[in-house]
């Protein structure tokens, strides 16, 4: 069976759209109708005519799409593709912290559970986080779950008091300063690009810190040739496609998010064939989470 052909056939029959995150396997990115970051993809899901969304990514991403499009069927092909960082914050604990800081507003990274989004005042992504913190009507902010993105924002917006959660991305944490220094010593004129989920010492040595899309845009518009990519290696697919004449290097020969790599072609085929695994979100919680995603639009402008 030619899986790619079968997927395309089923997709048409079911009037479905396939969305894939930049961290997905190359063959998954290739069969997708759209490839991007979680926020862009959830917006595509909201605006498209198709009534079925096959979301190749991790659970919080498929849930964000469902929050924005409750009337559509959202499918997560790899049912157990979660995000350990998102699971590091639980809504009950967030509310406890809020009690200790009653004047603080809660800002959650999009990499969080629907329940946490529902108890937050506003959501953010790595590309609009600084703007949101600058624009939010509060001097004190509880930020979660990523302490690294949080401390990066605090550096950019020193006038606000940030109370940071202690979560972190287990994938980005594996990018070490030593690896980067080694690469810098051995490759001439190497430009270091790092995601804000990296540890501070890695961000500090980077030439540029930004989200997946910002990293892609930076490398694409740069006149330089050699780049060390400080984020999940799936992004190399898009980088190489857009920049066939540039060279991309990775720490440790590539750091991989096991959850992002769970989706394989047969899962996408089965998702379309059997309508699996459908995302369901409790309506009361969805409405509250929707508000924090919507506020992100307003404050992120």
Binding status of residue 259 toward ligand SF4 by CB under 6 A: yes
Q: Which of 29, 52, 112, 211 binds ligand CIZ (CB under 6 A)?
A: 211
Within 19-38, which residues bind ligand CIZ (CB under 6 A)? Answer: 21, 37-38
Binding status of residue 110 toward ligand CIZ by CB under 6 A: yes
Binding status of residue 125 toward ligand CIZ by CB under 6 A: yes
**CB atoms closer than 10 angstroms to residue 123:** 31
Nearest distance from C-beta of residue 58 to ligand SF4, angstroms: 5
Nearest distance from C-beta of residue 291 to ligand SF4, angstroms: 23
Q: Rounded CA gap, 144 and 152, in Å?
A: 13
Q: Is 280 annotated as a binding residue?
A: no
Q: Which of 24, 111, 171, 263 binds ligand CIZ (CB under 6 A)?
A: 111
How would you class 264 by CB atoms within 10 Å of its CB: exposed for 0-12, middle for 13-18, buried for 19 or more? Answer: middle
Tokens of 223: 């006149």
Cβ-based nearer residue to ligand CIZ, 17 or 193 = 193
Cβ-based nearer residue to ligand CIZ, 61 or 118 = 61
113, 129 contact by CB (below 8 A)? no
Binding residues: 21, 38, 83, 109-111, 126, 169, 195-197, 212, 257
Binding site for ligand SF4 (CB under 6 A): 58, 83-85, 111, 169-172, 232, 257, 259-260
């Amino acid at each position: 069976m030619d899986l790619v052909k079968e997927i395309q056939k089923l997709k048409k029959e079911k009037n479905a759209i396939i969305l894939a995150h930049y961290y997905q396997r190359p063959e998954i990115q290739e069969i997708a109708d759209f490839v991007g970051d979680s926020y862009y993809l959830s917006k595509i899901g909201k605006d498209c005519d198709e009534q079925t969304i096959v979301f190749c990514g991790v659970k919080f991403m498929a849930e964000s799409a469902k929050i924005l499009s409750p009337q559509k069927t959202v499918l997560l092909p790899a049912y157990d593709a979660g995000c350990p960082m998102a699971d590091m914050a639980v809504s009950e604990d967030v509310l406890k912290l809020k009690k200790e800081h009653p004047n603080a507003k809660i800002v959650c990274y999009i990499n969080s559970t629907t329940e946490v989004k529902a108890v937050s005042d506003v959501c953010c992504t790595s590309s609009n986080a600084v703007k949101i913190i600058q624009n939010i009507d509060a001097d004190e902010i509880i930020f979660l779950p990523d302490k690294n993105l949080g401390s990066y924002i605090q550096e950019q917006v020193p006038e606000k008091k940030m109370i940071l959660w202690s979560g972190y991305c287990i994938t980005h944490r594996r990018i070490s300063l030593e690896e980067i220094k080694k690469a810098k010593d051995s490759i001439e004129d190497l430009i270091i690009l790092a995601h804000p989920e990296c540890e501070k010492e890695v961000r500090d040595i980077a030439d540029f810190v930004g989200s997946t899309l910002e990293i892609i845009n930076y490398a694409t518009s740069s006149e330089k040739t050699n780049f060390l990519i400080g984020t999940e290696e799936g992004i190399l697919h898009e980088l190489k496609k857009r920049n066939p004449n540039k060279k991309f290097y990775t720490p440790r020969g590539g750091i991989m998010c096991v959850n992002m790599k769970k989706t394989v072609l047969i899962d996408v085929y089965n998702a379309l064939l059997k309508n699996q695994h459908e995302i369901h979100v409790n309506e009361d919680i969805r409405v509250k989470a929707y508000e924090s995603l919507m506020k992100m639009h307003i404050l992120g402008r």
